[in-house]
Amino acid sequence: MHNLTIKQMSEKLHAGEITSVQLTQHYLDRISQYDAELNAFVTVTPELAISMAEAADKMLAAGNGELLTGIPIAHKDIFCTDGVKTSCSSKMLDNFIAPYDAYVVEKLKKVGMPILGKTNMDEFAMGSTSESSYYGPTKNPWDLNAVPGGSSGGAAAVISAGLAPMATGTDTGGSIRQPASFCGITGIKPTYGSVSRFGIVAYASSFDQAGPMTRSAEDAAWMLNAMAGFDERDSTSLERETPDFAAELNQPLKGLKIGVPAEYFGEGLDSGVEDVVRNAIAEVEKLGAETVEVHLPNKDLAVPSYYVLAPAEASSNLSRFDGVRFGHRCEAPKDLEDLYKRSRSEGFGAEVKRRIMVGAYALSAGFYDAYYLKAQKLRRMVRDDFTKAFESCDVIMGPVAPSPAFNIGEKSDDQVSMYLSDLYTIPVNLAGLPGLSVPAGFVNNRPVGLHIVGPYFSEAKLLNIGHQYQQVTDWHKQMPEQYQ
């Protein structure tokens, strides 16, 4: 059952060939069988899943089912779920039973998608490996010694190993696309503002964006249709009619202009990864597309700019974790300062503390102009590079990450080199553009993704390209042997 596409599952559910309870139980069984070694879930919610599946079966029986009704889902543990622990993989929120649903959770509940559980991640989404989780690292299903990427590493591993057909992720600096690449699955970060941030524990508000993580581009299109939409509770939610992201899936790619930025194939890119990406682009060309050279001259400014701005926002966003209204509180604080400092120092892990401190410093008196304001100006320059590039191409293609998944522990003590590995994904977040990662091959038996970036609101086009590519390749159908 776990090898079916979403569309096939949906057809079987609607035809009564399988029930949601059966499908949900199948995934719950796989979770019990495999998650002990993968550590992809923080919380598994079998009772909730089954009761929701029963309700979904009733909806289907009554003829009220939608395309995704009855199909189970795993939510990244950054989405608040009413009555279920929402930890953000932090000790700070280890005891936090969210008293409300995030917009996305609420919306997918209404459709009738049973919740299998909450997936592991880098603490507060700050990381590229999922190693900073309070609950321990998630393993890459393709190689248990490798990281699954991050921060949505749990979600990527879950899809890759077939422990859920769909999973939600969030992408602040690459956190959907990079783990998708590392785990050989499909993930899309939509245009900033497409999916409401209401109920998503904030990391960096002007970057955070939720999106689907699935096996195929087609599955992602169906899921994005269900996730996106205007939400009056989020001031940055786009007030526009939500398009049908699946509408263009079958459009031919003839005449498509692919921008290939020279800067994305420079120093530091693993040659194996480069081959995979160039082959993938050549494959798309065979479908009628053509390539043009484009330039993103300020690419190198993106990483420092992002690592000023995101931690600055985070330092403020995470001030609310003070041990007073929710979250971890230290034992017997002697005064207010003690309450704050001890609760936060005990509750946050090393990388979160580091980003809070860096962010506070970047905003502090005397440094604001040199760091924060400068970074905001560079943000505009990076965005303008894309605007200019899209004058001569429809989409940009390149690598998602400079290498395939690396080993657990390999980079965990060198923050700066870890930050620099986000160089291809971060510019897209600075600009707020949509970006897709689709599986495109392997290097040393570890998956590698193709990165497709488009102008604002071009999600349907990106998914169209991904789907057409997946019609002529089968990378997205491959699963690690032991989970088949």
Residue closer to another protein, measured from CB, 376 or 471: 376
CA 197, 203, 209, 210 dihedral sign is: negative
Residue closer to another protein, measured from CB, 419 or 483: 419
Residues 296 and 50: their CA atoms lie apart, in Å, by 49
Tokens 């919306």, located at residue: 107
Residue choice 38, 42, 284, 430 for contact with another protein (CB under 8 A): 430
Q: Provide, rounded to whole angstroms, the least separation between the CB of residue 315 and another protein.
A: 6
Residues 254 and 49: their CA atoms lie apart, in Å, by 44
Binding of residue 319 to another protein (CB under 8 A): yes
Residue choice 14, 381, 410, 443 for contact with another protein (CB under 8 A): 381
Q: Provide the CA 269 distance to its chain's centre, in angstroms.
A: 22
At residue 81, the 3 state secondary structure works out as strand
**x-marked contacts with another protein along 350-369 as a string, rule CB under 8 A:** ---xx-xxxxxxxxxx--x-
The count of chain residues that interact with another protein, using the rule CB under 8 A, is 101
Q: Provide, rounded to whole angstroms, the least separation between the CB of residue 208 and another protein.
A: 9
76 catalytically annotated: yes
Residue closer to another protein, measured from CB, 292 or 324: 324
Q: Which stretch binds another protein (CB under 8 A): 182-190, 196-204, 217-225, 397-405?
A: 196-204
Query: b vs e for 302-319, b when ≥16 Cβ sit within 10 Å of the residue's Cβ?
Result: bbbbbbbbbbbbbbbbbe
Binding of residue 338 to another protein (CB under 8 A): yes
CB neighbour class for 131 (10 Å; exposed up to 12, middle 13-18, buried from 19)? buried
Q: Note whether 174 and 439 are within 8 A (CB).
A: no
At residue 117, the 3 state secondary structure works out as strand
Query: b vs e for 336-350, b when ≥16 Cβ sit within 10 Å of the residue's Cβ?
Result: eeebbebbbeebbbe
Which of 60, 66, 31, 26 lies closest to 45, judged by CA?
31
Q: Which two tokens stand for residue 260?
A: 């290939």
Q: Provide, rounded to whole angstroms, the least separation between the CB of residue 41 and another protein.
A: 20
Q: Provide, rounded to whole angstroms, the least separation between the CB of residue 3 and another protein.
A: 34
Q: Provide, rounded to whole angstroms, the least separation between the CB of residue 47 and another protein.
A: 20
Footprint of another protein on residues 129-188 (CB under 8 A)? none
Residue choice 52, 204, 228, 453 for contact with another protein (CB under 8 A): 204
CA 129, 131, 134, 136 dihedral sign is: positive
Q: Provide, rounded to whole angstroms, the least separation between the CB of residue 61 and another protein.
A: 33
Footprint of another protein on residues 73-132 (CB under 8 A)? 80, 86, 88, 93, 95-100, 102
Footprint of another protein on residues 29-58 (CB under 8 A)? none
Q: Which two tokens stand for residue 178?
A: 């990079």
Q: Provide, rounded to whole angstroms, the least separation between the CB of residue 169 and another protein.
A: 16
Q: Which H/E stretch holds residue 399?
A: strand 395-399
151 catalytically annotated: yes
Residue choice 324, 392, 407, 409 for contact with another protein (CB under 8 A): 324
Footprint of another protein on residues 445-464 (CB under 8 A)? 456
Q: Provide, rounded to whole angstroms, the least separation between the CB of residue 243 and another protein.
A: 16
Residue closer to another protein, measured from CB, 120 or 429: 429
Q: What are phi and psi of 154, to 5 degrees?
A: -60, -45
CB neighbour class for 369 (10 Å; exposed up to 12, middle 13-18, buried from 19)? exposed
Residues 447 and 403: their CA atoms lie apart, in Å, by 10
Tokens 């693993």, located at residue: 270
Residue closer to another protein, measured from CB, 238 or 294: 238
Residue choice 371, 390, 406, 424 for contact with another protein (CB under 8 A): 371
Catalytic residue among 175, 181, 216, 421: 175
Residue choice 189, 278, 379, 467 for contact with another protein (CB under 8 A): 379
Binding of residue 210 to another protein (CB under 8 A): no
**Is the omega angle on the peptide bond into residue 205 within 30 degrees of 0, that is, cis?**
no
Residue closer to another protein, measured from CB, 100 or 477: 100
Residue choice 182, 192, 390, 469 for contact with another protein (CB under 8 A): 192
Residue closer to another protein, measured from CB, 28 or 430: 430
Q: Note whether 461 and 289 are within 8 A (CB).
A: no
From start to end of 174-299, where are the E strands? 186-189, 210-214, 257-261, 290-294
Footprint of another protein on residues 219-278 (CB under 8 A)? 232-236, 238-239
* β 257-261/395-399 pair status: parallel
Residues 300 and 135: their CA atoms lie apart, in Å, by 34
Footprint of another protein on residues 390-429 (CB under 8 A)? 415-416, 419-420
Catalytic residue among 151, 152, 315, 421: 151
Q: Provide, rounded to whole angstroms, the least separation between the CB of residue 428 and another protein.
A: 10
At residue 118, the 3 state secondary structure works out as strand
Q: Which stretch binds another protein (CB under 8 A): 114-122, 254-262, 264-272, 344-352?
A: 344-352
Q: Which stretch binds another protein (CB under 8 A): 244-252, 331-339, 398-406, 435-443?
A: 331-339
Catalytic residues, by residue number, are: 76, 151, 175
